[in-house]
Amino acid sequence: MEALIRKDESALSGGPQTWGAIDWHRVERNVQEMQIRIAKATQEGDWRRVKTLQRSLTRSFSAKASAVKRVTENQGKRTAGVDREKWDSPETRWEAIGRLKRRGYRPLPLRRVFIPKANGKERPLGIPTMLDRAMQALYLLALEPVSEGTSDPNSYGFRINRSTADAMSQLFLNLSRKASAQWILEADIKGCFDHISHDWLESNVPMDKAILRKWLKAGVVFQGQLQATKAGTPQGGIISPTLANVALNGLERQLVKSLETKLGVVNTKKLKVNVVRYADDFVITGSTPEILESEVKPWVEQFLAVRGLTLSTEKTRIVNIADGFDFLGWNFRKYSGTLLIKPSKKNVQTFYRKVKGVISANKTAKQVNIINLLNPMLRGWAQYHSPVVAKATFNRLEYAVSKALWRWAKRRHPQNTTDWVRKKYYAPVGDRSWVFGTTIVDDGGNSRWVGLYSLAGTPIQRHKKVRGGYHPFDPAQERYGETLRQERMLNNMSHRKQWIKLYISQRGLCAVCECKITKETGWEDHHIEYRTYGGSDALGNRVLLHPDCHKQVHHHGRPVVKPVQ
């Protein structure tokens, strides 16, 4: 390990001297190798070695470069902290790598902002500075191999290759059979991120205690005033979801173990107690309401109290599966003994209000602009609900959106006839006679059709659930993890068959840095011979790149590795 770190650190002297010269494939490989060693030491229970390896990782050039890359390529890169500093140039990013040092590090307070919640209230967010974000990303690289190895099997929030759809699929397995549990404890933690005990975190999170304490006590700035932080981990910090996961790890394993100790293994199995958790949202199944009320709920309350948390009395309830319950935007309910999972009414209403808000706010916008605003929203929402029984909901919502757009079109031309408005804004496409869309001409003089995404045309696809025991840092499971990632990426690209062909031909790797293309990194379609110079749209002239790599190709001349077709 020490030889690996020395080799990695040599990159500072004999390796790249600019941001654009960094070999990202080598950086990714170095970080992954160190994380695998940390995960192995965690499985062996060698906590002294875990601490040593974590210290080596956070001091390495590869980990620092990877941390800076992450915070300068995600969605929050345009949002500055209290120092108003942004790392928006290759020079500042290269300089930032050298600034990631433990000695003398003092985080600045968070910038407090509020974002609206679905219930009309506001959720507080704490925005760290770029330097603090990068430091959190750096130490998260060392914490994740440990947290993944100690997580509950049915914890799905903010973990590698796990999603809300996995949590939904696990609940389907727990509730769909005739002999399945009929009662559910629908739990809600009161202000989880705001109330986690700092003392508990400092004593139990396996990372550098001094750095963690500095983050927890950094304070927030709101309306020009500095406010102390006595509890909680701020929503908005890169490492915060993992800290919350560490705090709630054990909810599943320890609950079952406690019941087995008290009632015996055989009797515990008969109780059909199963925990499914996504971040701080979780549900617990049981064979009777009495077992959930008298045994499970008190244990959960005690488990949370140690961590400074409590259940919300208003939102925590015990329900029968025949009455149904909402979880992660879906409604789970048995109809005459058959479990159906549908988009929840609350989720549908919230989304429709959002769509109507966009339409209302763009009364004078061009048709193509409003289509470009709505399509990502419609596609993302439809793909989220595509694994469940959502066809009827898609049809109803498409009709409602169509009516809103018709009112938008009619309002623009009050003096014209209905037939004139229809011909201007709608056209027949395939077996659909009314499609909201238009023809546009690009800079090269080529015309193409741009239409509104069809919710009703979204296929319903069963989700393939991740294995409960999957460990992303276990070399024995690497092939499974790669296959799972690629399958999900292909599903994510399902609306563009050409992207699927490019992704497969590139083996899921960026054609510049040769690192993985994931949902988190995003991707862009690049023409090797630019269209302005006569390049065609043929697949042989196109590759998929990371967004930042795409910028480097256009602005700094980075070479593109053309895959073998």
pLDDT for 120 equals 66
Compute the CA torsion angle 13, 144, 247, 110 (nearest 10 deg). 40
| Amino acid letter, 341 | I
Which ranges of the chain have pLDDT less than 70? Answer: 1-15, 118-120, 443-445, 494-495, 531-534, 562-565
For the chain, what is the largest distance between any 2 Cα atoms, rounded to a whole number of angstroms? 78
Tokens representing 52 are: 């040593």
pLDDT for 13 equals 45
Question: What's the CA angle centered on 21, arms 18 and 24, to 5 degrees?
Answer: 120
R_g (Cα) of the chain, nearest Å: 26
* Residue 319, helix vs strand vs coil: strand
Answer for the pair 288, 194: CB distance below 8 angstroms, yes or no: no
Instruction: Mark residue 104 as left, alpha or beta (left: phi above 0; alpha: psi -120 to 50; beta: remaining).
Output: left
Residue 144, class by beta-carbon neighbours within 10 Å (0-12 exposed, 13-18 middle, 19+ buried)? buried
pLDDT for 451 equals 94
pLDDT for 533 equals 66
What is the distance between the alpha carbons of residues 544 and 308, in angstroms, rounded to a whole number?
46
Contacts of 557 (CB under 8 A, 6+ apart): none
Write out the E strands in 442-517.
447-451
* Residue 477, helix vs strand vs coil: helix
pLDDT for 116 equals 75
Following DSSP, what letter does each residue of 247-285 receive, concatenated?
Answer: HHTTHHHHHHHHHHHHH-HHHHHHHT-EEEEETTEEEEE
* Residue 525, helix vs strand vs coil: strand
pLDDT for 118 equals 65
What is the distance between the alpha carbons of residues 23 and 512, in angstroms, rounded to a whole number?
10
pLDDT for 52 equals 97
pLDDT for 497 equals 80
What is the distance between the alpha carbons of residues 392 and 375, in angstroms, rounded to a whole number?
20
Answer for the pair 550, 510: CB distance below 8 angstroms, yes or no: no
What is the distance between the alpha carbons of residues 12 and 10, in angstroms, rounded to a whole number?
5
Counting other chains too, the contacts that 69-73 makes at CB distance below 8 Å and 24 or more residues apart are 69/24, 69/27, 69/93, 69/548, 70/134, 70/137, 70/238, 71/130, 71/133, 71/134, 71/137, 71/238, 72/130, 72/548, 73/521, 73/546, 73/547, 73/548
| Amino acid letter, 213 | R
Domain boundaries, the chain: 345-451, 496-556
User: How many other C-beta atoms lie within 10 A of the C-beta of residue 444?
Assistant: 11
Alpha helices in 340-390 (DSSP H): 345-361, 367-385
Backbone angles phi, psi at 428, to 5 degrees: -75, 135
Answer for the pair 141, 445: CB distance below 8 angstroms, yes or no: no
| Through-space distance between the first and last CA atoms of the chain, rounded to whole angstroms | 39
Question: What's the CA angle centered on 197, arms 196 and 200, to 5 degrees?
Answer: 120
Instruction: Mark residue 207 as left, alpha or beta (left: phi above 0; alpha: psi -120 to 50; beta: remaining).
Output: beta
Distance of CA 34 to CAs 30, 63, 142, 238, 468, Å? Answer: 6, 9, 9, 20, 24
Answer for the pair 229, 216: CB distance below 8 angstroms, yes or no: yes
Contacts of 75 (CB under 8 A, 6+ apart): none
Residue 301, class by beta-carbon neighbours within 10 Å (0-12 exposed, 13-18 middle, 19+ buried)? middle
